[in-house]
């Protein structure tokens, strides 16, 4: 198949200005493969660029193709001979670590201060994402998928890797009591990872009924409404995954942790001071641990999805063709009615 010169893409132009544009396709660099994108998962950062024109401190200055949770098939392999061959189905690791003036541990490239990410306005010019029918991507980003792993399920590889990294930051969880606060896609996937890792009992917390149903389907033993402060405080969890991304959720995570427990903060709170009862963390000697993106966990996630040991299918609640991307984003913004929303680029 000849490589097209143009393709449809989901482009954020400014706050509340999301479009399906036909964009020109540049010739791939020698180290880039051309990927025919099959599925893309809508992430919270994609929603922020659409709704607010920014994701945290990353402010949209120019139109930008969104999307970093993508899978597809290699249409043309990289000319330099690196990466998978044409016809290979692949997942994408969307990060490009880069050196910077700030020090970071060499074995944790996710903390690289110069790191770029597909579909990110953190730097200017922005890094276009891959919500486009055909994407030129560096061969080093590509991970070949086992034949037994369908592309639709593989669309969860990137967010599942975020959840896997968060659970790894919690340390050994086998036989322990776990609490997950916030059961959007990342929280639900954290439940699934905790279940696979052998947590003895998992309690899931959310404001809405649908996320709690999904959490049960992927392994939660008990669910609680976020408004039930007394019940959350009584959980007494050894390990807590905070994935709500707001200070109320972090307060619940601290309250629900046992003395000497560990709270992993994967939900990205807004920048600036947050009103949280840190005194409780001090008197209980809690460990508050950050978790940001992921590193090579993606390879373990792919293997676990392929062998069926990581159950994630209930996390996907909706699927839309690219032509209905605006409707898909509207559904994805309402966590009361949706889990992970996928775009089907081949429909």
CATH class of 162-290: alpha beta
Q: Report how far residue 247's alpha carbon sits from residue 242's, in angstroms, rounded to the nearest whole number.
A: 10
**Three-state SS for 300?**
helix
Nearest one of 182, 119, 131 to 155, comparing CA atoms: 131
Q: Beta 58-59 vs 54-55: how paired, if at all?
A: antiparallel
Over range 240-260, report the average pLDDT.
96
- Joined together, the tokens standing for residue 219 give 């392994």
Burial (CB < 10 A; 0-12, 13-18, 19+), residue 295, is middle
- As a whole number, mean pLDDT of residues 282-287 equals 96
Report the distance separating Cα 312 and Cα 156, nearest Å.
8
Which residues belong to CATH 3.90.180.10 in the chain? 6-156+312-344
Reference 131, options 331, 320, 334; nearest CA is 320
Asked if pLDDT for residue 269 goes beyond 90, the answer is no
The verdict on whether omega for the bond into residue 125 sits within 30 degrees of 0, i.e. cis, is yes
In this prediction, residue 55 carries a pLDDT of 87
Q: Is residue 61 within 8 Å of 126, Cβ to Cβ?
A: yes
Cβ proximity of 151 and 38 under 8 Å: yes
CATH 3.40.50.720-classified regions of the chain: 162-290
pLDDT tops 80 at residue 270? no
Whole-prediction pTM: 0.95
> What was the pLDDT predicted at 243?
97
| Percent of the residues in the chain that have a pLDDT greater than 90, as a whole number | 86
Element housing 40 (H / E): strand 32-41
Note the pLDDT tens digit of each residue in 97-112.
877 667 777 778 777 7
pLDDT of residue 113: 78
Give the CATH number of domain 6-156+312-344.
3.90.180.10
Mean per-residue pLDDT for 314-331? 98
Supply the mean pLDDT for the chain. 94
Give me the pLDDT at residue 101, please.
Answer: 64
For 344, the enclosing helix (H) or strand (E) is: strand 340-344
Cβ-contact 179, 173 below 8 angstroms: no
Interatomic CA distance for residues 193 and 229, integer angstroms? 25
| DSSP 8-class letter at 197 | T
43-94 pLDDT, tens digit each: 999 999 999 999 878 899 999 999 999 999 999 999 999 999 999 999 999 9
């Amino acid at each position: 198949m000849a490589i097209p010169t143009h393709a449809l893409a989901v482009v954020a132009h400014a706050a509340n200005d999301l479009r399906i544009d036909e964009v020109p396709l540049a010739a791939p660099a020698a180290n880039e493969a051309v990927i025919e994108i099959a599925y893309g998962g809508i992430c919270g950062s994609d929603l922020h660029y659409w709704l607010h024109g920014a994701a945290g401190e990353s402010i949209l200055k120019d139109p930008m193709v969104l999307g970093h949770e993508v899978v597809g098939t290699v249409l043309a392999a990289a000319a330099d001979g690196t990466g998978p061959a044409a016809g290979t189905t692949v997942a994408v690791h969307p990060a490009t670590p880069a050196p910077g003036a700030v020090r970071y541990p060499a074995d944790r490239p996710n903390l690289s201060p110069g790191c770029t990410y597909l579909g990110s306005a953190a730097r200017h010019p922005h890094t276009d994402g891959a919500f486009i029918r055909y994407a030129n991507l560096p061969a080093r980003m590509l991970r070949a998928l086992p034949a037994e792993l369908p592309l639709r399920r593989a669309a969860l590889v990137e967010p599942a890797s975020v959840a896997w990294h968060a659970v790894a930051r919690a340390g050994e969880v086998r036989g322990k009591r776990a609490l997950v606060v916030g059961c959007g896609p990342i929280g639900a996937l954290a439940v699934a990872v905790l279940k696979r890792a052998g947590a003895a009992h998992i309690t899931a917390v959310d404001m809405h009924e649908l996320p709690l149903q999904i959490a049960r389907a992927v392994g939660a033993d008990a669910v609680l409404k976020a408004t039930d402060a007394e019940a959350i405080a009584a959980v007494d969890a050894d390990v807590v995954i905070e994935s709500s991304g707001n200070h109320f959720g972090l307060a619940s995570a601290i309250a629900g942790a046992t003395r000497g427990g560990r709270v992993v903060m994967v939900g990205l709170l807004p920048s600036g001071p947050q009103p949280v009862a840190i005194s409780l963390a001090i008197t209980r000697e809690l460990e508050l641990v950050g978790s940001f993106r992921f590193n090579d966990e993606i390879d373990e996630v792919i293997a676990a999805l392929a062998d069926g040991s990581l159950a994630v299918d209930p996390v996907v609640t909706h699927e839309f063709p690219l032509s209905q991307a605006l409707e898909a984003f509207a559904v994805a913004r309402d966590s009361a009615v949706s889990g992970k929303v996928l775009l089907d680029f081949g429909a």
